């Protein structure tokens, strides 16, 4: 009987150890992602940038808009001045029954750009972005003029060469869709804009480049997705309306049909993003719920290799699920560490060090690669890049990576605060570090609640510097778990835009 109990105890310790190491798995995947991204120059699909004018496809640009007059004026003018033949570029604003000055603005723009700008108005709107886009697609695909369709947002502004660079990929008949590099460009940027700017650069400069290398893209950027006409027609001439992530559904369906999806890191466009914690929470909660809906719909695709596509390859599946399940891994890891701490022994300490060394390596590699490859983001958001995990998490990383000097610093700090340096103090500090693995998400949620109740303003930026932007994103993803489990209504919450987009740099 005693031997059976001993074996069960050993099994329990191994299970807890695996739970701890699950917290390190996303950063192992992130390390591999950086290595893959470094190979992008050898597998980038860019080809010749100098394509003959006669070979450029006729592009219809679709812009869904609901009360977007503050940003439409600028984005329409910029699209009309693209480095692209005027007779091969047409823009259609799909007005979702706007109640602001959109109608008056579009009347002026249609007159200013006759034959090139169209105003497609829905008299009864409110169904969301996907339904609005489908209204525009029905009109655009009703004749044979458009050879490619560029779906974008009202606030997105393209660099003059962006459309030309995106369309060059369509010369490969196996390419179904192309996405551009979207940069956050609010001017003047606040502290939240700078965090998002770095996040976008990391997600695209590292993430999407790596996905190019393995030939499997997770998502076309909703504000910059170019489709061949054939691709959209094969998808039924419309996009998904059953989820909150219609762009991701389109991306996966395109690849499941055997066509490529390409990220072009040299085609740049700018967008205005949320300027506060509450606004970010609203936007990312929708994204998180959309990703959960997509994961359920396409669960049969992951980890099932196919000759038609590469979505079933191991790395793509690990990358997808590690991103989506990171909050769950953090909770399991923290609980396991606390239980191991309670059981005594050095196992918790060793696993904790391994976890945070891996996390530190993933953070350093991703941050270094991103800042080196995007000098604009490096100048604009380097502070936010370095503070991405939060001051407390950075302290834990330093504690693990440089234990001797940090031991003296923490000991001095505890004595200065009057806590002493007894075995009990050291044990409680270890327990606090173990619980911080998931506790950071709790503090990020509290920060959101405070901002929603009191409007923290710049104080929110200071507190976020301590807690971390990364933990805030994980907290939002966890909230999306709860919203989906509760069966919350699937509604499209529009992100408010103010028109503070800066000039391309």
Query: pLDDT digits over 117-164, tens only?
Result: 999 998 877 788 899 999 999 999 999 999 999 999 999 999 999 999
With a threshold of 0.85, does the pTM exceed it?
yes
Mean pLDDT of the chain: 92
Long-range contacts of 428-431 (CB under 8 A, 24+ apart): 430/341, 430/348, 430/349, 430/352, 431/338, 431/341
Q: Is the per-residue pLDDT at 402 higher than 80?
A: yes
CB atoms within 10 A of CB 220: 27
464-469: average pLDDT: 97
Mean pLDDT of 36-46: 85
The CB density around residue 257, as the number of other CB atoms within 10 Å, is: 13
| Per-residue confidence (pLDDT) for residue 498, from 0 to 100 | 61
pLDDT value of residue 492: 58
Query: Would you state the structure tokens that stand for residue 242, as one six-digit string?
Result: 């059953």
> Is it true that the peptide bond before 474 is cis, omega within 30 degrees of 0?
no
Residue boundaries of the structural domains of the chain: 1-42+53-57+147-300+309-505
Q: What is the per-residue pLDDT for 315?
A: 94
- Region 265-284 average pLDDT: 93
pLDDT value, residue 133: 94
pLDDT-derived band at 504 (thresholds 50, 70, 90) equals very low
| Residue 245 to residue 51: CA distance in whole angstroms | 33
Q: Kindly calculate the radius of gyration of the chain based on its CA atoms and give it in whole angstroms.
A: 25
Stated length of the chain = 505
Q: List Cβ neighbours of 435 (8 Å cut-off, separation of 6 or more).
A: 334, 337, 338
The SS3 call for residue 295 is: helix
Strand residue runs (E) in 334-435? none
- Residue-level pLDDT at 7: 81
- Judged against a pLDDT cut of 90, whether residue 365 lies above it is answered with yes
**Closest to 121 in 3D by CA, of 140, 111, 136, 143:** 136
The fraction of the chain above a pLDDT of 90, given in percent, is: 78
Q: What is the pLDDT of residue 272?
A: 87
How confident is residue 495, by pLDDT bands cut at 50, 70 and 90?
low
Residue 112 corresponds to which tokens in the numbers above? Answer: 């200013």
Write down the pLDDT at residue 505.
Answer: 37
DSSP-based three-state secondary structure for 195: helix
Dihedral (CA of 25, 218, 324, 452) sign? positive
Residue 503 has pLDDT above 60, yes or no: no
271 bridge partner residues: 184
Q: Is the pLDDT of residue 253 over 60?
A: yes
- Between CA 43 and CA 65 the distance in angstroms is 36
Judge contact between 289 and 484, C-beta under 8 A. Answer: yes
Alpha-carbon distance of 306 to 170, in angstroms, equals 24
pLDDT band at 187 (very low <50, low <70, confident <90, very high): confident
CA atoms of 252 and 236, how far apart (whole Å): 14
* 3-class secondary structure, 329: helix
- Binning pLDDT at 50, 70 and 90, where does residue 3 land? confident
Tokens read off for 332? 């399991």
Burial 47-62 (b: 16+ CB within 10 A, else e): eeeebeeeebbbbbbb
pLDDT at 197 over 80: yes
Q: Which range, of 49-58, 218-227, 269-278, 474-483, averages the lowest pLDDT?
A: 49-58
Pairing of strands 224-228, 260-271: unpaired
Q: Tell me how far apart the 2 most distant CA atoms of the chain are, in Å.
A: 88
User: Lowest-confidence range among 121-125, 141-145, 209-213, 354-358?
Assistant: 121-125
In the structure, what pLDDT confidence band is assigned to residue 264 with cuts at 50, 70 and 90? very high
pLDDT at 303: 96
pLDDT greater than 70 at residue 283: yes
* DSSP character string of 41-91: GGS-----S---GGGSPPEEEEEEESS-HHHHHHHHHHHHTSSS-GGGEEE
CB 192 within 8 A of CB 275: yes
Q: What share of the chain is helix, strand, coil (3-state, %, to 5)?
A: 60, 10, 30
List of residues 6+ apart from 268 with CB closer than 8 A: 158, 159, 162, 180, 181, 183, 504
Is residue 474 a contact partner of residue 444, using CB atoms and an 8 Å limit? yes
Residue 269 has pLDDT above 70, yes or no: yes
The more confidently predicted of residues 54 and 273 is: 273
| pLDDT of 302 higher than 60 | yes
Provide the pLDDT for residue 216: 97
CA distances from 124 to 99, 110, 240, 453 (A): 11, 22, 20, 34
């Amino acid at each position: 009987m005693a031997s059976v109990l001993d074996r069960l105890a050993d099994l329990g310790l191994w299970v807890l150890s695996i739970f701890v190491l699950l917290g390190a798995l996303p950063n192992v995947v992130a390390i591999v992602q950086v290595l893959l991204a470094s190979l992008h120059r050898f597998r980038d699909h860019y080809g010749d940038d100098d394509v003959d004018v006669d070979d450029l496809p006729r592009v219809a640009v679709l812009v869904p808009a609901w009360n977007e007059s503050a940003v439409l004026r600028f984005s329409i003018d910029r699209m009309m001045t693209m480095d692209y033949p005027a007779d091969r570029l047409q823009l259609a604003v799909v007005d979702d029954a706007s109640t602001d000055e959109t109608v008056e603005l579009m009347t002026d723009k249609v007159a200013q750009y006759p034959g090139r700008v169209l105003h497609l108005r829905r008299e009864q709107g409110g169904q969301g972005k996907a339904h609005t886009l489908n209204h525009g697609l029905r009109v655009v695909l009703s004749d044979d003029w458009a050879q490619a369709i560029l779906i974008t947002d009202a606030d997105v502004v393209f660099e003059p060469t962006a459309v030309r660079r995106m369309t060059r990929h369509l010369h490969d008949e196996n390419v179904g869709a192309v996405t551009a590099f979207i940069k956050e460009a609010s001017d003047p940027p606040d502290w939240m804009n700078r965090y998002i700017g770095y996040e976008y650069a990391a997600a695209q400069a590292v993430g999407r480049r790596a996905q190019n290398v393995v030939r499997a893209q997770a998502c076309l950027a909703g504000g910059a997705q170019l489709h061949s006409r054939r691709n959209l027609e094969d998808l039924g001439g419309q996009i998904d309306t059953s989820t909150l992530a219609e762009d991701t559904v389109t991306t996966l369906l395109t690849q499941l049909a055997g066509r490529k999806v390409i990220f072009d890191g040299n085609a740049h466009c700018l967008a205005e993003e949320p300027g506060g914690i509450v606004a970010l929470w609203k936007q990312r909660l929708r994204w998180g719920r959309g990703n959960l809906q997509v994961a359920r719909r396409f669960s049969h695709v992951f980890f099932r290799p196919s000759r038609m596509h590469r979505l079933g390859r191991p790395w793509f599946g690990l990358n997808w699920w590690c991103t989506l399940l990171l909050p769950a891994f953090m909770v399991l890891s923290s609980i396991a560490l606390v239980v191991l701490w309670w059981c005594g022994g050095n196992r918790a300490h060793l696993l904790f060090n391994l976890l945070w060394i891996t996390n530190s390596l993933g953070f350093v590699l991703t941050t270094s690669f991103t800042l080196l490859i995007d000098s604009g983001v490096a100048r604009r958001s380097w502070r936010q890049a370095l503070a991405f995990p939060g001051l407390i998490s950075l302290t834990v990383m330093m504690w693990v990576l440089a234990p001797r000097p940090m031991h003296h610093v923490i000991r001095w700090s505890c004595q200065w605060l009057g806590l002493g340096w007894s075995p009990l103090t050291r044990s409680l500090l270890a327990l606090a570090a173990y619980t911080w693995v998931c506790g950071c998400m709790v503090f990020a949620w509290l920060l959101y609640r405070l901002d929603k109740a009191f409007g923290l303003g710049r104080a929110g930026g200071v507190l976020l510097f301590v807690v971390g932007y990364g933990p805030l994103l994980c907290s939002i993803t966890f909230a999306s778990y709860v919203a989906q489990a509760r069966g919350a209504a699937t509604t499209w919450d529009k992100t408010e835009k103010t028109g503070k987009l800066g000039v391309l740099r």
